[in-house]
């Protein structure tokens, strides 16, 4: 489960909102630091698989990239 503090941190990335945070939670990502070095396309694919269909579009992919960049800048 993603803590409220982590939700606030993740929400600071452009285009990341409660739905995307919920999708990340579904695939086991619980901390912003979990996304350091991640590949946005692979995260999107994991979300699509968890949702049972193609769900993440180009805008969602860009949002995930924004979140990964935030993780790279702000976590260790």
Model-level pTM? Answer: 0.93
Q: Tokens 């979990």 map to which residue?
A: 34
Q: How many domains does the chain have?
A: 1
In this predicted model, what pLDDT tens digit does every residue of 1-36 receive, in sequence order?
A: 999 999 999 999 999 999 999 999 999 999 999 999
Note down the domain range covering 17.
4-74
Q: Three-state secondary structure along the chain?
A: CCCHHHHHHHHCCCCCCHHHHHHHHHCCCCCHHHHCCCCHHHHHHHHHHHHCCCCCCHHHHHHHHHHHHHHHHHCC
């Amino acid at each position: 489960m993603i803590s409220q503090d982590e939700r606030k941190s993740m929400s600071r990335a452009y285009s990341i909102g409660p739905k995307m945070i919920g999708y990340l939670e579904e695939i086991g990502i619980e901390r912003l630091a979990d996304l350091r070095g991640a590949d946005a396309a692979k995260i999107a694919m994991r979300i699509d698989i968890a949702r049972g269909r193609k769900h993440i579009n180009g805008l969602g992919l860009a949002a995930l990239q924004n979140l990964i960049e935030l993780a790279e800048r702000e976590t260790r």
